[in-house]
Chain A
Amino acid sequence: SQTIHQWPATLVQPVGSPLSLECTVEGTSNPNLYWYRQAAGRGLQLLFYSVGIGQISSEVPQNLSASRPQDRQFILSSKKLLLSDSGFYLCAWSGRTLLSYEQYFGPGTRLTVT
């Protein structure tokens, strides 16, 4: 069965510090991968998605970036965090068939920027 891991689970970082969040998927090949952010108001915002190694599409211009160095690894980074980067970050994966496949979410990382 497929599982998705995220770490760290929680993170407190000062403004201006770098960020690296990691997501890995097990039990599937060639998944589509996604990064979402959920702010305090509950809405889920798609940040990045990837359909393959090295292929990253950005949804929202910001000071965050994403990379996919391996098929089942997705990394969210920032060189300098802002207060507005605080939130709950969720990684998700889906199959490659268009439209039909639901997205499965990881446990999330709660980031607080101080």
Chain B
Amino acid sequence: AQKVTQAQTEISVVEKEDVTLDCVYETRDTTYYLFWYKQPPSGELVFLIRRNSFDEQNEISGRYSWNFQKSTSSFNFTITASQVVDSAVYFCALSVRYGGATNKLIFGTGTLLAVQP
């Protein structure tokens, strides 16, 4: 089965705290891609990162970092020194081959992050 699980429904932190959003995935494919999206209150989904199944190197972009571990099928997202502007729903997604000519994104149910000032 192809599945993405974000067990944390809601997280509340105080500004400047570090926070980690968990993502666990299931797939039979050996080649796949993982993504994180941010959905601020305005509603638009904003692409944050893509990681392919052959690249387990962690990535850092400013205050954001991602930890991909194939052994545990996890792709966790950490925000360092959180800010109020980080408040949003964050989705983890898995890309699988679908229909021969396209890919399908399987989304987790999202984690609502509330950063309090």
| B106: nearest chain-A partner, CB-CB | A46
Residues of A within 8 A of B112 (CB): 42
Interface extent on B, as a size class? 20 to 34
| Chain A: interface residue total (CB-CB under 8 A) | 26
The residues of A that contact B107 with a CB separation of less than 8 Å are 43-44
Main secondary structure of the interface of B (DSSP, over half): strand
Could you tell me the distance between the alpha carbons of A104 and B35 in the complex, rounded to whole angstroms?
Answer: 12
Q: Which residues of A contact B (CB under 8 A)?
A: 32, 41-44, 46, 49, 51, 57, 88, 90, 92, 94, 96, 98-108, 110
Instruction: Known A-B contacts: A42-B110, A100-B95. Give 15 more (CB < 8 A).
Output: A32-B103, A46-B105, A49-B102, A51-B102, A90-B44, A90-B45, A98-B101, A98-B103, A99-B95, A99-B96, A100-B103, A102-B33, A102-B47, A104-B47, A108-B44
